[in-house]
Amino acid sequence: MFRFPFRPLCVALTLCLVLTAAPALAGHKADGAAKQAIVLAAFGTSYPTGLDSILNIKTRVEKAYPGVPVRLAFTSSIIRKIWSKRRHDPEWQKANQDVPREVLFVKSPLATVADLQDEGYKDLAVQTLHVFAGEEFSDLTNMMIGLRSIRTVKAKSIPFNKLRLGRPALGMPGDAYPYTDDIAAAAAALKGDVDEAKKMGATLVYMGHGNDFYSTGIYSEFQHVMQTSHDYPVFVGCVEGFPGFDELVAELKATGKKKILLKPFMVVAGDHASNDMAGDEDDSWKVMLTRAGFSVTTQLRGLGSVDAWADLYVNHLKDAMAQSHMLPR
């Protein structure tokens, strides 16, 4: 039986209620305003070289909100375990001294929000750094709903006055901010990639992560907008979900072009980009496309390193902080 993939998010939008508890003295500034903080929730990466993309987004958020604490959180438990192991490894730290302490001690979004609440911050905005509203964003949404549902005997004991969640780069279901507008903004942010491919005379190809549990049709929509808005052959394939590698190759062969500029359609250029996309193993996209008769140039650059893409999250955060509800209805 067909199951609508965004049902958890639709439920989330229905359940989100305004918190009307009276402000407590703790966690408030002298003027009565709640102490405010921002959490950036990324999937994360185990690659130190991939951190620049996440840190670039953080820098641009800090510039947009001077004086407001901005904390990083990783949604992937596997990635967090890797960093936990490294912070107990002096030899690794000695060889990687450029890794910020905030990454070495990174926590989950839940733990990060809890730490901020314990420090007296009661007005929190969580901005997802995911590309689209898939599994990770759904889990993040449900976590926020759980936190917003907390009730206490005394109103002053409620842990949060405001909790808001910013939408992914390619948007989310709902009519407050049409996802088609977000796709158009994302396509405009990557105009530089199209210009680069044009100079090379190459087809522009992106490898997206995708998801096996949620519809990845939004990648096809993004591909269509990239092609029509830039009037250039641009294609997107997914590691998981549709369109996969086989569908991608069929479309590439139909263009008649032999040169390809291959880039990750992911916030960071980490394991998938380095191995599944640009690796030398037989099952990497670079090798398989070369075997299929294409001349392939790969570029390991995460989307977060593109300022215009990073600003998509800054703008979505601004929208979230202007909302009276956790998510736009």
- In angstroms, the CA 170 to CA 218 distance is 8
Q: Which of the following is catalytic: 28, 88, 209, 224?
A: 209
Tell me how many degrees the CA angle 300-306-307 measures, rounded to the nearest 5.
160
Nearest to 143 by CA among 153, 132, 128, 122: 128
State the pairing for strand pair 295-298/70-74.
unpaired
Q: Can you state the angle between helices 51-64 and 307-321, rounded to 10 degrees? A: 50
| Bridge partner list, 296 | 260
State the DSSP string of 114-129.
HHHHHTT--EEEEEE-
Nearest to 110 by CA among 70, 157, 158, 143: 143
For the question of residue 209 being annotated catalytic, the response is yes
| Bridge partner list, 72 | 40
Tell me how many degrees the CA angle 254-132-245 measures, rounded to the nearest 5.
30
Number of residues assigned to the chain? 329
Positions annotated as catalytic residues are 209
